[in-house]
Amino acid sequence: MKCSVITPPSTPGTCSLWVLLHLKYNSQQWSHRWQIPEPNKLNKGKIALLERGIILSSVAYLAFETYKWKKGQTVVHASIKVDDIIEQADYLYGSGETAKLYELLSQYKDSNDAELLWRLARAARDMALVSTTPQDEKKRLIYESFDSAKKALELNELCWAAHKWYSICLSNVGDYEGIKTKIGNAYIVKEHLERAKELNPKDATTIHIIGVWCYMFADLPWYQVKIASALFGTPPSATFEEALEYFLQAEEVDPNFYSKNLLFLGKTYLKLKNKSLALDWLTKAKDFPARTEEDIEVQKEATDLLKRLGEKI
């Protein structure tokens, strides 16, 4: 005896409907297979009861299978979604779309994914640096960036980018909390930068920021040095030679990666009285293609310094 075959749909969502229809279609085949007499040979009520039992069992089974399928799909979807968000975020960051990037990532501020959170910290900080952002909004964004970076670090201590952006955002928070807090945080800032460099020695930006840290403390005004000494006994210290070493190292890791590294190389050589090399690096900074507001500011500062050095622009 040939059995009719109806192929079920591939997803459980429509599978239950298929079974209910298929049950009706194959009722006579089931009667024959399980040797169930025809209705005129058996009480119809018993047949109805049997069919109802089969249907309910099938529905229960399908409900369970559907649950398992949906649960699996949710896990896969969540994994794919995070990867997709990160890919989109990195594209927007590379394109200089600061506002769109922040808008995208701010939807996930309650995420427990360190990779999303450090990117949100970066985006919030970048929004704070946009010249048209109101002052009160800048402050809110800076504190938001710090909270996101802190959470990212708590979630994954081995994430080099979380260390990097925690240090950057902590330093920015210090701008709103006074010189005592900023200098006090400086030790923590450098500690996390060095940890980021240890975890990823090929990130030129981290190396650059350590160079900036050294430059800033080498260039600290005398009155701030006195305040720091009074507050901390031995305040953070560095030299322009140390700063130069980091800036050159960053350039070696990733040549011409950042307009500000070129600018700081020029400024550091000026501090070290090497005018010839200062001119070279400042010219590179001036000629660097401007993709962001920061690049435009770097071009302006480099141009002003070159003019002061007697260069015709």
Write out pLDDT tens, residues 38-54.
Answer: 444 444 444 444 444 44
Dihedral angle of Cα 48, 53, 56, 62, to the nearest 10 degrees: -120
Instruction: Tell me the C-alpha distance between 147 and 302, whole Å.
Output: 34
Does 296 reside within a domain?
no
Residue of higher predicted confidence among 155 and 72 = 155
- For residues 7-29, give the mean pLDDT: 37
Decide: helix, strand or coil at residue 176: coil
pTM of the model: 0.72
> Quick count: other Cβ atoms within 10 Å of Cβ 223?
9
Q: Which of 99-103, 108-112, 149-153, 231-235 has the lowest mean pLDDT?
A: 231-235
Instruction: Tell me the C-alpha distance between 265 and 285, whole Å.
Output: 9
Under DSSP, the state recorded for 288 is S
| pLDDT for position 278 | 98
| pLDDT for position 117 | 99
| Residues 233-253: tens digit of each pLDDT | 777 899 999 999 999 999 999
| pLDDT for position 225 | 83
Which range, 2-6, 131-135, 245-249, 306-310, is most confident?
245-249
Instruction: Tell me the C-alpha distance between 155 and 108, whole Å.
Output: 15
Instruction: Tell me the C-alpha distance between 51 and 48, whole Å.
Output: 5
| pLDDT for position 224 | 81
| pLDDT for position 194 | 98
Task: Find the helix or strand (DSSP H, E) in which 226 lies.
Answer: helix 222-232
Does 289 reside within a domain?
no
Average pLDDT, the chain: 81
Q: Which of 249, 153, 228 is nearest to 195 (CA)?
A: 153
Banded pLDDT at 226 (limits 50, 70, 90): confident
10 Å CB burial of residue 64 (0-12, 13-18, 19+) is: exposed
For the domain that residue 178 is a member of, what is the CATH number? 1.25.40.10
Banded pLDDT at 272 (limits 50, 70, 90): very high
| pLDDT for position 59 | 42
- For residues 86-90, give the mean pLDDT: 97
Does 155 reside within a domain?
yes
184 and 152 Cβ atoms separated by less than 8 Å: no
- What total of structural domains would you count in the chain? 1
Banded pLDDT at 80 (limits 50, 70, 90): low
Banded pLDDT at 3 (limits 50, 70, 90): very low
Kindly report the backbone phi and psi dihedral angles of residue 219, in degrees, each rounded to the nearest multiple of 5, phi listed first.
Answer: -100, 10
Does 287 reside within a domain?
no
Instruction: Please state, for a pLDDT cut of 90, what percent of the chain lies above it.
Output: 63
Does 232 reside within a domain?
no
State how far the alpha carbon of 172 is from the alpha carbons of 125, 159, 167, 192, 295, in Å. 9, 20, 9, 14, 19
Does 5 reside within a domain?
no
Domain that holds residue 162: 76-182
Does 311 reside within a domain?
no
State how far the alpha carbon of 191 is from the alpha carbons of 57, 164, 170, 187, in Å. 63, 10, 12, 6
| pLDDT for position 180 | 84
Is residue 74 pLDDT above 80, yes or no? no
Does 215 reside within a domain?
no
